[in-house]
A and B are shown apart, each in its own frame.
Chain A
Amino acid sequence: MAIKLNSKVTYIFKKREFGIFLFILVLLAVFGSIEPRFFRSDNLSAILSSVGILMVVGAGQTLVIVTRNIDLSIGSTLGLAAMVMGMVARSQPDFPIPGLILIAMVVGGICGLLNGFLVSYGKIPSIIATLGTLAIIRGAVFVVSNNVQIDPNDVPKGIISLSITSPIGIPWLLIFAFLAIVLVWYISSQTLLGKRIYAVGSNPEGAISRGLSFNKITIMVFVFVGVLAGLGGVLYTARYATINPADVGRGLEFDVISAVVIGGTNIFGGSGTALGTALGCMLIGILSNGLTVVGVSPFWKACATGFLILAAVAIDNLVRKKQEENFLLAIRNQRAVK
C-alpha cells in the first residue's frame, strides 16, 4: 500500500518547521523596515545571546515533552547548577574552566535523576513531580548559597568570555546552543534510542508491550534535560555574571515550554523536532527584542507570546486533522481501487 510522496522540494514546504521559518522572515522584515536599527550587529547578537540559553534547555525539554512528560523544574535546576559552580569558582579562583562546566552539568544531571526517578519508579505524573522539585531545588539553591549571591568579581574571566568570543569568532554560547540542537536532532532522527523515545511518547502501552524499558528511557530523558539545564547555568553565568539565589533561572520553564510548543512539539508526546524548538526559541527572541526596538510597549510582549502559542497549537491541530483526513481518504481510495 504505497502512498505517493511528492517531490523533495514540496516536502520541505509542507514541513511544519518551514512555516515557522517563514514567519520569522516575515517578522524580521517587518521589524527591520520599521526600525533599521533592528539589524545592528550588537542588537542581533543580543537576540542570539538571550535565545542561546533558551535553546540549550529547550533542546532537552523537547525530548521530555516527546515522552509525554513535562519538566517544570528546569529553572531551579539551572539555578542550582549555576550557584554550585559559582561557589566553587569563588572559593577556588584557579579552578579550570572545563572543570567548572562539568560541575554544573553534573549538578544538573543529579536534579534530572531525581525527577526521572520520581516520574518513572515513583509513578508520579511529571507535572506534579516537577512542580514539587521546582520548589525543592529552589530551596536547595538558598540553603547551599546561604542567601549570598555570586558577584561578577567571583566569576572567572574565562566563564564570562564564553558569552563573548571563542577561537572561531562566534561566542561559545551560540556554539553550545547549536551543538545542543544538533545533538537532539541526531538522537531523535539517527539513533535507535531516539526512535524508542518517540515510541514511548506516542504510545506508552504499546511501547512497553514491545519490551522497551519505559523507566530507563524516562530517567534518561530527564537526566538529559537536567544536564542541559546545568550547561544553561554556565551560559547564564557567562551572560549575566551575577548569580542571585532568588532570581537565577526563575520563570525559565514558561519560556522554554512556550518555545517548544510553538516549535511544533505536541504536548501529548510522540512528535516534535529539535529544529522546531530552535526556531521557536528564535521566534520568541526576535519578537521580544523586535517589539521593544520598534517601540511597542513591553506590556504587549506577554500578549504576543500567548497569541503565538495559541496560533501554533491551532495550526498544528488543523494540519494534523487534515493529514489524518488525507491518510484515511487515501486508504479508502486504495481499497476502493482494489
Chain B
Amino acid sequence: MKYIAIGIRNEAKGMNKKHKALVPVLGMSLILTGVSASFMATSATAATKYKVTYIPKNLGNPYFDAIVNGFKKAAKGLNMTVKVVAPAQAGATDQIPFIEAAIQQKVDAIAISPNDANALCPTLKRAMKAGIVVLTVNGDTAASCRQASITPVDFSVLGKYLVDQTASVIDGKGDWAFLSATSTAPDQNAWLAGAKKYIDGGGQPGLKLVDTVYGDDAPEKSATEAQALLAKYPNLKAINAPTTVGIAAAAQVLSTSPLKGKVQVTGLGTPDQMRQYVKDGTVKAFSLWDPGLEGAIAANLIVSIKAKNVKPKAGLQITYKGVGPGSWKLGKDAVIIAGPPQEFNAKNIDNFHF
C-alpha cells in the first residue's frame, strides 16, 4: 500500500516529459497575441497634455459610439487624448478592471458610463484620491463617487417625457408596458421612477402601465420579453423601450408580427438603427438626443477642472463656446444636463446619422 501510494503520488504530479518545445511556442504565441492586439487597441501614444480614459457600459453599442465621437472631436481642440476601453458585458462590476488600469496609468481623468450605481464606488473613490478627475457620463453613481455627472437630458423629467410620448402615439388611451435594459441600470431606473411618480400623481390618466420587463440590453432577451408582452396582454397598445437595444428588438418583433401597427413601439433609440422601422410603419415616433454633446461637455469640463481648478458644485455656471447650447448651470450634486430630447419621426429621420 505504501509503495502504491508513492507511485500514485508521483503519477499525480504529472507527466515526466521534457518540454523544450513549450518555451518558444508559448512565448511566441503570447507575444503574437499582444502585438496583434496592440494594433487593435486604441492609440494612446500621442504626447498630449491630458490623458483621459472613457469607459462606456460595454462594447459594440452604437449609442456609446456616438458619445465617443463627440468626446474625441472636442478632445482634438483641447490637447487631449481619449482612450476608450470597455468590458465584454455590461455587468455591474465588469468595468472595475479598466478603472484600476486607468488609475495605474495615472491618467488625468476617468469618464465612465456606469453599469451600477454602487458597485464601482470603492474603486472610483480610490481614483479620486489619486488625483484623477472622475466624471460620470450618461448615467450616474452615488454622488460621493464622482466630481460631476453629465446627463443627456433632465433625468427627472425624462420619466414624464416617456409617458407623454407613449400617450402621443396611442392617442392618450390604452394599456402599455415598459421594456427596460438591465435591472440595475441607474439611468433607466431613474427614468422609470420618474415615470411612476408622474403617473401616480395623476399624469396621463387614460394610460395604464401594465408591466415593466427587463431585456438586459441583449437583443434576444429583449425580443423574447417583447413577444411575451404581446402574448400576455391582449389589450396592449404600446411598448415603450427607453433603451436602444430594447426598442430595436421590440420593433423587429412587431414588424414581422400580425400586430404590426396595432401595437405601437416607442421609446429611445438611435436614428440609424430605427430608420427602417419608421419607414415601414412599425414605429410612428421615438426620441433621443445628441449623445455626442455629452462627450463634448465632458471633455471641456475635464480641462476646466484640471487647468482652471474649477470645482463642480450646484449652482456653478459653465460656458463652452461652440458646444451645443453653449452654457449650463450645474444642478444638485453637480449634475449637468446636456440638452433637450429630440423626437424622430418619418419626417425628420433622414436628417440624423448616428
Chain A residues close to B by CB (< 8 Å) = 37-38, 40-43, 46, 50, 138, 142-143, 145, 147-149, 151-153, 160, 163-164, 239-242, 244-248, 250, 288-289, 292-293, 295, 298
Contacts and interface: CB of A to CB of B under 8 A. Distances in A.
A169 B59 CA distance: 39
Contact of A163 (B60, B213, B256): B256
B252 A242 contact: yes
15 contacts: A38-B231, A41-B258, A42-B230, A42-B257, A46-B253, A143-B40, A147-B60, A148-B62, A153-B275, A153-B276, A241-B252, A246-B59, A246-B60, A247-B60, A247-B218
A244 B232 contact: no
Given A152-B273, A164-B256, A250-B218, A244 B245 contact: yes
A43 B231 contact: yes
Contacts of B219: 240, 242, 244, 247-248
A104 B10 CA distance: 49
B61 to A, nearest CB: 7
A145 B40 CA distance: 12
A288 B276 CA distance: 30
B59 A152 contact: no
Given A42-B230, A42-B259, A246 B89 contact: yes
Interface in B46-66: 58-62, 65
B223 A240 contact: yes
Given A46-B231, A163-B256, A241-B276, 20 more contacts: A37-B232, A43-B231, A46-B227, A50-B224, A138-B88, A142-B59, A143-B40, A149-B61, A151-B276, A152-B277, A153-B273, A153-B275, A240-B249, A241-B248, A242-B219, A244-B245, A246-B61, A247-B60, A289-B228, A293-B228
A215 B115 CA distance: 46
B62 A37 contact: no
Q: Categorize the interface residue count of chain B.
A: 35 or more
A42 B234 CA distance: 12
B272 interface: yes
A52 to B, nearest CB: 13
Closest 8 CB pairs of A and B: A292-B228, A245-B60, A241-B252, A293-B231, A152-B276, A246-B60, A43-B231, A151-B273
Contacts of A245: 59-60
B252 A244 contact: no
A43 B226 CA distance: 12
A246 B59 CA distance: 7
A138 B62 CA distance: 19
B275 A246 contact: no
Given A241-B248, A246-B89, A289-B228, A160 B60 contact: no
Nearest to B275: A153
A242 B232 contact: no
Nearest to B221: A247
Nearest to B253: A46
Contacts of B230: 42-43, 46
Nearest to A155: B276
B100 interface: no
Contact of A151 (B40, B257, B272): B272
Given A42-B257, A247-B218, A293 B276 contact: no
B273 A240 contact: no
Contacts of A43: 227, 230-231
Which of the listed residues A40, A164, A240 has the most CB atoms from chain B within 10 Å of its own CB? A240
B314 to A, nearest CB: 37
A145 B245 CA distance: 18
A247 B220 contact: yes
